[in-house]
Amino acid sequence: MRMRKLAMTLSQLPRHPLKEPTLEQYSTDGEVAAKWLASIDMKEPFEEVDGVIDLGAGNGILGIAALLLGAPHAVFVEIDMEVCEVLQKSIGLMGFNDRCRIINGDVTDIGDNLVHDVVIMNPPWGRQTPKADRPFLLAADRCARSTIHLLHGRGAAHIDPWAEKAGWDSNRWMEVDLPLPASYPHHTRKRGSTEASMWWLERPTR
C-alpha cells in the first residue's frame, strides 16, 4: 500500500474519545503513523512476522497500519472500555475482525504467554504522571520476541539506558513534529505540535 493511501485510510478511522487526561490519552496522527509504519515495513516487512502487539492501542491506528501493510495478526491492549468500543469499530470497518484480538485491560496484567515478534506503541510520556511509560516498557519487554517500536517525546533520555539494562539494542532512528490538537482543558492553543522520536529496539543476535 502506498504511504499516501495508508495515511488517508488511517486518518479516516473513528476518533479516539480522549476523555481521560490522567491516562495521557492522545491520538497518533494518521500521517505520522503512516510514515513511521511504512518506514518500518521497508526494513522489517510486516508480512514476514508472526504478528504485532499494540500496547495502549487507542483507536488501533498503529496495529491497523501494521495489518494494512501485511501483518497476519494483531493484538490490541487498551484499558479504557469506551475506547475499546471505538477500537472494535475501527477493526470492523477495515474488515479485520478475523485477524485481531482486543484485550480490555491494564498492560501490567499481561502475562508471559502473550508474545509476538513485534510490539508497537505510543505510550504515555509521563508529562501528567511521572514514569507513566514504565509499565508499557516492561510489558513490551515481556511481549516482544524480536522488536519493539516506540514513539516517545524527543527529550526522553531514559529510553536508551533502560533498553541497554533490559538487554535490547536501541536506535533512535526517526524524528517528527507530532500534531497535537487541543483535547483537554489544560491545552491553551487550538492546535499545536510536539517534538517526538521513534526508537527501534532489537534483541541482540547471539
**Average pLDDT of the segment spanning 173-181:** 89
What is residue 126's predicted lDDT score, i.e. its pLDDT?
81
Show Cβ contacts of residue 101 under 8 Å, excluding neighbours closer than 6 positions: 73, 74, 75, 76
Domains and CATH numbers, the chain: 26-202 (3.40.50.150)
In whole angstroms, what is the distance from residue 162 CA to residue 94 CA?
Answer: 36
Question: Residue 99 is which amino acid?
Answer: R
Work out the pLDDT band at 18, boundaries 50, 70, 90.
low
C-alpha 170/C-alpha 194 separation (Å) is: 22
Give pLDDT, residue 183: 52
Tens digit of each residue's pLDDT (9 = 90 or more) over 31-56:
999 999 999 999 999 999 999 999 99
d(CA 200, CA 152): 11
**Mean per-residue pLDDT, 7-16:** 94
The pairing of strands 144-153 and 116-121 is parallel
Q: Which residues contact 23 (CB under 8 A, 6 or more apart)?
A: 79, 80, 124
Query: What is the tens place of the pLDDT at every residue in 73-132?
Result: 999 999 999 999 999 999 999 999 999 999 999 999 998 899 999 999 999 988 778 899
